[in-house]
Amino acid sequence: MSTISARRGFFRSAMNALIEARQREASRYVSGVLLGFDDETLKAHGYDREELRKAARSPYV
């Protein structure tokens, strides 16, 4: 493996890890916001309050 491809692999892995972390953060945020809605609205849109609570508290979704 050349130095250039190893460097690309490192930066690609770092960028992928950053993207995944931001996706988990966004998911936790959205779950927290959705918890502000009433149960009927959540059910009408296919969400379960307990699942949202778990996702909002979880460090990793």
Give residue 8's Cα distance to chain centre.
25
pLDDT score of 11: 93
pLDDT score of 21: 95
Domain ranges of the chain: 25-61
Pure H helices in the chain: 3-34, 39-44, 49-57
**Per-residue pLDDT tens for 8-24?**
799 999 999 999 999 99
The alpha carbon torsion through 55, 19, 14, 6 (nearest 10 deg) reads 130
Residue 57: which pLDDT band, with cuts at 50, 70 and 90? confident
Rounded percentage of the chain residues whose pLDDT exceeds 90: 72
Residue 45: which of 58, 53, 34 has the closest Cα? 34
pLDDT score of 61: 44
The reply to whether the predicted model has a pTM over 0.85 is no
